[in-house]
Amino acid sequence: MKKINISRNLNQRQKIIILILALVFLFIIIYSVSTLIYRSGKTKTTIRIAPNSASITLNDTHISNNSTIWLTPGKYHLTASFDHLTTYERDIEIKDDPAEIYAILSAADDEGRLYIEQHRQEYAAVEGLIGELTNREGEKLRQANPIIKYLPLNNSLYSISYEYKNNDLVVNVKCEPEFIDTVVAKLKTFDGIDLSSQNIVFNLDNRFTNPQQNPNTDVKKYLRAAFQIPDRYVINDIQQINDYYYTSIYIYDYDRDLSYAHYRVVLKKGSEDAWELVSTPQPLLTTHNTPGVEKDILNTINSY
């Protein structure tokens, strides 16, 4: 069979087109590979600060405003400035997720206020981006921490609020001791919330701290001696689940025939039948205040 030489059947114009296409394809491959190598291990970071003319530095390195850059995860110091406007400074931490950094520079004097009025459209655009970002972050927080849909709660008996500390949600409870059980009962009405997973802090004096070790093998006598428990406190019967023993200590008001302020206690038996407290007694046990104990066990004790 006779071989066909395709190149002989192409005119000069066609050869040039094929060569150009080949070079373009090669350029695309080289650019794509180099881009992948450059971006490997880095995070996409969008930066936009009003006004557009603001000078921006990141760790003392100048970067363009209204730009998208790729940063190695870590901590950075961002500074944005412009004449007659206040300088904006912020410590940021870039993680693995795409980051968006938006800010506006406020006026430092009358000239700055005039400049902002003349560039109001730039400010409105960034303000819109800040609003969208705030809404998205709020929705992420609600999805990650569904308990906040029930909070805050404030009335004459107690308040239940939340805050973020080191990116962790903390539920803060403020009440007098006689309303502890009321708060716990309210928390248990939060549908779909695993209370044992929450970092719940009761902001009141907990007298069951700094236990004194003692040789009593009877657990109730051990607890009374450990915390110097007065008579107005009652200790419930001891229960057992797996290797743990648990009970609750609560205040009983004999005058009103009323019990309140239950504190749940978890213990283990040590050597020679000596008792060991697993953690400080709390109105509710969680993985934060009683670490090392499985959630199923904590939930069982919380329902006691």
pLDDT along the chain (304 residues), means of 10: 54 78 80 63 92 94 93 94 96 91 96 96 96 90 90 96 89 96 97 96 93 92 94 93 96 88 94 89 97 96 92
Strands 99-104 and 43-50, sheet pairing: parallel
CB 290 within 8 A of CB 279: yes
Other Cβ atoms within 10 Å of 226 Cβ, number: 20
Q: Note if the bond before 177 is cis, omega within 30 degrees.
A: no
Q: What is the DSSP string of 271-289?
A: GGG-EEESS--BSS--TTT
Task: Return the pLDDT at 37.
Answer: 62
Domains of the chain plus CATH, in order, are 43-144 (2.60.40), 153-302 (no CATH)
Distance CA 38, CA 71 (A): 10
> Is there a contact between 224 and 250 (Cβ–Cβ < 8 Å)?
no
Q: Which run of H or of E encompasses 261?
A: strand 258-269
CB-based contacts of 289, cutoff 8 Å, min separation 6: 200, 279, 280, 282
- For the purposes of burial, counting CB atoms within 10 Å of the CB of 48, is it exposed (0-12), middle (13-18) or buried (19 or more)? buried
Q: How far does CA 303 lie from the centroid of its chain? A: 27
d(CA 292, CA 279): 10
User: Any long-range contacts for 118-126 (C-beta under 8 Å, 24+ apart)?
Assistant: 119/50, 119/51, 119/52, 122/50, 122/51, 122/52, 123/50, 123/51, 125/48, 125/50, 126/48, 126/49, 126/50, 126/102
Return the pLDDT at 6: 52
Alpha helices in the chain (DSSP H): 12-39, 110-118, 120-144, 180-187, 219-227, 295-302
Whole-angstrom Cα distance, residue 110 to residue 112?
5
